[in-house]
């Protein structure tokens, strides 16, 4: 039987690679993005999130088998909070009632190795409170910490909710993928600026000698969203060229 999976951020980068991989494996994929995919919706707004949920309901009246919350921004502005945290939560919570309740239901949220980096606790707390207006206000003046803070917040949300009755208890296995530096349109500016790239390499070393490509992240997500992943729940999986292990060492796992 064909499995149906919704993928946000499917127009480019990691989301596109996931979409293409799952399609090649015979899945029916429903891509969501602001352009060039199946459902056009802006997840930075409540209206766009509601539009996405309604469109998925219309496309999949019999339900879906999984969801990958991949849409994200790395802008030093509050909109990143709206997409990376509130858009991801709205995707997971909004589509959860559509996920079939059986032993093969899966969900994945894309976080980042940036969740291990300096962040703003007040911004994280505002996100986790569910008060979007307060979170957007808390982001003001904290431009350098916004991205990492959103990834800390969504990781904490997923860890907390993955084990609840409506997720694990319903057979929906939710896990978190934390990529390192991946060559996507979002990171192209890093690759184009050789001096900045060298700074990134100092901050996020790559013991394997290189950073990654979207297709490599897709392979891990492909396993997590599949029935073959039968026991993993609420796990944060780093796929980052060894950056997290190199920077945090043996006492963090």
Q: List, for residues 46-87, the tens digit of each pLDDT value.
A: 999 999 999 999 999 999 999 999 999 999 999 999 999 999
Range 195-222 average pLDDT: 97
Active site residues: 147
Long-range CB contacts (< 8 A, 24+ apart) of 10-14?
10/37, 10/38, 10/70, 11/35, 11/36, 11/37, 12/36, 12/184, 12/185, 13/182, 13/184, 13/185, 13/186, 13/214, 14/70, 14/110, 14/179, 14/182, 14/184, 14/214, 14/217, 14/218
252 — pLDDT class (breaks 50, 70, 90): very high
| Cα dist from 147 to 5, 139, 144, 196, whole Å | 26, 10, 7, 17
Q: What is the pLDDT of residue 107?
A: 98
Q: What is the pLDDT of residue 105?
A: 98
Distance CA 81, CA 72 (A): 9
Range 175-189 average pLDDT: 96
Query: Parallel, antiparallel, or unpaired for β 4-8 and 105-110?
Result: unpaired
Distance CA 134, CA 128 (A): 11
Q: What is the pLDDT of residue 188?
A: 94
Does residue 89 have a pLDDT over 90?
A: yes
Range 226-252 average pLDDT: 97
pTM over 0.75: yes
Does residue 1 have a pLDDT over 90?
A: no
């Amino acid at each position: 039987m064909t499995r149906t999976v919704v993928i946000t951020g499917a127009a480019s980068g990691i989301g596109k690679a996931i979409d293409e991989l799952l399609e090649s494996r015979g899945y029916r994929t429903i891509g969501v993005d602001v352009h060039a995919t199946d459902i056009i919706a802006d997840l930075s707004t409540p209206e766009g999130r509601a539009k996405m949920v309604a469109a998925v309901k219309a496309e999949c009246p019999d339900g879906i088998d999984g969801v990958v919350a991949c849409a994200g921004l790395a802008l030093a502005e509050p909109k990143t909070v709206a997409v990376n945290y509130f858009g991801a939560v709205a995707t997971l919570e909004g589509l959860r009632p559509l996920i079939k309740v059986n032993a093969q239901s899966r969900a994945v949220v894309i976080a980042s190795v940036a969740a291990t980096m300096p962040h703003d606790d007040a911004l994280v707390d505002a996100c986790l409170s569910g008060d979007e207006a307060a979170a957007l206000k808390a982001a003001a003046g904290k431009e350098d910490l916004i991205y990492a803070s959103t990834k800390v917040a969504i990781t904490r949300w997923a860890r907390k909710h993955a084990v609840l009755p409506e997720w694990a208890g319903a057979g929906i296995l939710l896990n978190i993928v934390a990529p390192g530096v991946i060559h996507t349109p979002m990171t192209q500016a890093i690759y184009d600026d050789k001096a900045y790239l060298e700074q990134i390499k100092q901050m996020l070393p790559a013991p394997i000698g290189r950073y990654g490509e979207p297709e490599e992240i897709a392979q891990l997500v492909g396993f997590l969203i599949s029935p073959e992943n039968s026991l993993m729940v609420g796990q944060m999986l780093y796929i980052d060229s060894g950056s997290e292990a190199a920077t945090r060492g043996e006492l963090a796992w």
